[in-house]
Every structure is written in C-alpha cells, then in structure tokens.
Amino acid sequence: NKEYEHILVSRPAEGVGLITLNRPKALNALSSPLFKELNEAAEELDKDESIGALVLTGSERAFAAGADIKEMKDKTFVDVYRNRFLEDWTKITALRKPIIAAVSGYALGGGCELALMCDIILASPTAVFGQPEINLGVIPGGGGTQRLVHAIGKSRTMELTLTGRNFSAVEAESWGVVSRVVSEGEGKVVEEAVKMAALIASKSQVAVQAGKEAVNAAYEMTLAEGLRFERRLFHGLFATQDQKEGMSAFAEKRKSTWNHS
C-alpha cells in the first residue's frame, strides 16, 4: 500500500480495505490534503478487484471533528466558490463498493457528514455526533442538512442544525442514523465493521454492487421509478454466472462459489 501523510490504509481481512484517518493532533479535522488522500485511497480500493468492501474509521477519540476550521477561517466567498470548496467530498458517495463507517468519539460537522456519506454506520458507545456549524456562523456544507433529513426527518434535523447540539450513540441508534451500537471496548467497532465488510466481500460482488445501487436509488427516485429500477437490476442479474451458481447451489444443497461475473 502507498504511504500517505494523513491516513493509513490496510487490508485487515480478505476482501476488506481499511482507511484510518490519522491526524490525531487535530482530532482528524478534514483538511483539503487529508480529503485528497482519502479520495485517492478510496478510489484505488474501489478499483482493486481483490477488495469487496471498505471500512472508514478514525481514532478512539475522534472519527473526525469536522472540516478544518483553521484552514477555512480566512477564506473569502470568492475563494470557496471559485475553488469549488468541498465539492470533491462527494466522491466518497460515488464508490461502487460498500463503505462502512466505524465511528468512535467525535463525529462533528464534516465528520458527521462524512459518516453519513458512507453506506452503513456502526458506532461505539463513545460516539458523539453533531452539526455544530451554527456556532461558527455557518451551516453544514458537506450534505448534513440533506442527508440528515432523509435519515431522521425534518424536525430533528432542524433542531440539530439550528441549535448545534450534539447527539449520542444511543440517540443515533434509536433514530436510525447508525445501524447499531457495538459493545464497549477499544477497537471493537472497527473489529465489527471489518467483520461485516468481510462478510459482504464474501458475497457475489456483482449482486452486492447492484444492491447498493438499488438502495441508493431510493434517495433520488419516486417510488414507482425506484421499484422499476430495482426490478431491472434484478432482471439484469439473471445474465450473471453468479445467479446461476447461487440458485443451482441452493437446489443442489451445496455452498456456492462466486466468480463475481
């Protein structure tokens, strides 16, 4: 794996790529150089045929404490507008492979938004989420106001955005922001996320990617369009060897072997 300055990249299990944000002194504040590396590493793992799913994590203390305030402080409207500030953050949402966020500690501002860009979020009981941008005289700029409305509805999103109050792992779980809170213990949430990613990576990758595409379509399409899109993808999978293998293996009472085509 390539050496990066602000992130670590490893392969902790078969088929799994792990990206760890690594700016401990700044609580993993998401500076432009960090995001550039994150995008590069994620794209590389997305292209790598030996990888089936990704995990993104931070440290025990912070997943990420937001966009880098010190970097933003003196920027003008023209700077951020002309340089399309934060536009490259959306690259994470364009990955074909599933990406799981394993969140411990602070996931604030852009950190919360980065977790929301991932396909699945697992949280440690120590996780603290929030959109505190209002306290800096701005609003979320990495998708928070939009993705939170989908996840938790308008009233809660409005409260969080306008008061800047943080919310806990327990709240995040009960609202459905995270799929579950993992039991206490250092590294536990990453361990669980890697296990989940390895399980996903052990499935037919064509089917996994189609499943991700279909679920994501629910954000963009009407119900009728989404149902048609899902059905067409389902039909399309009948052109794959993995569909033949999966269904034959069931009928023959044996374990299927995927060749991902």
Q: Minimal distance in Å, beta carbon 166 to ligand CAA?
A: 8
Residue 104 or 205: the one with the smaller Cβ distance to ligand CAA is 104
The Cβ of residue 217 has, within 10 Å, a number of other Cβ atoms equal to 16
Q: Minimal distance in Å, beta carbon 15 to ligand CAA?
A: 31
Contact positions vs ligand CAA (CB under 6 A): 26-27, 29, 65-70, 86, 106, 108-110, 113, 132-133, 136, 140-142, 144
Residue 16 or 26: the one with the smaller Cβ distance to ligand CAA is 26
Rounded to the nearest 10 degrees, the angle between the axes of helix 223-237 and helix 205-220 is: 170
Q: Minimal distance in Å, beta carbon 221 to ligand CAA?
A: 26
> Which residues neighbour 145 within 8 Å (Cβ) at sequence distance 6 or greater?
131, 139, 157, 161
Give the containing element (helix H, strand E) for 228: helix 223-237
> Which long-range contacts (C-beta less than 8 Å, at least 24 apart) are formed by 18-25?
18/54, 18/55, 18/57, 18/190, 18/194, 19/45, 19/54, 19/55, 19/56, 19/57, 20/57, 20/58, 20/59, 21/56, 21/57, 21/58, 21/59, 21/63, 21/64, 22/59, 24/59, 24/61
Residue in 26, 58, 105, 113 annotated catalytic: 113
Q: Minimal distance in Å, beta carbon 130 to ligand CAA?
A: 8
Our answer to whether residue 3 is catalytic in this structure is no
Our answer to whether residue 26 is catalytic in this structure is no
- How buried is residue 40: exposed, middle or buried, by Cβ count under 10 Å (0-12/13-18/19+)? middle
Our answer to whether residue 141 is catalytic in this structure is no
Select the residue whose beta carbon is closest to ligand CAA and give its number.
109
DSSP assignment of 147-205 equals HHHHHH-HHHHHHHHHH---EEHHHHHHHTSSSEEPPSSTTHHHHHHHHHHHHHHTS-H
Q: Minimal distance in Å, beta carbon 62 to ligand CAA?
A: 7
Residue 58 or 132: the one with the smaller Cβ distance to ligand CAA is 132
Residue 110 or 211: the one with the smaller Cβ distance to ligand CAA is 110
Residue in 110, 111, 144, 211 annotated catalytic: 110
Residue in 67, 107, 197, 201 annotated catalytic: 67
Q: Minimal distance in Å, beta carbon 2 to ligand CAA?
A: 25
Residue 14 or 186: the one with the smaller Cβ distance to ligand CAA is 186
Our answer to whether residue 110 is catalytic in this structure is yes
Residue in 65, 107, 133, 144 annotated catalytic: 133
Find, among 195, 193, 194, the residue nearest to 122 by Cα: 193
Residue 59 or 243: the one with the smaller Cβ distance to ligand CAA is 59
* Residues labelled catalytic: 67, 110, 113, 133
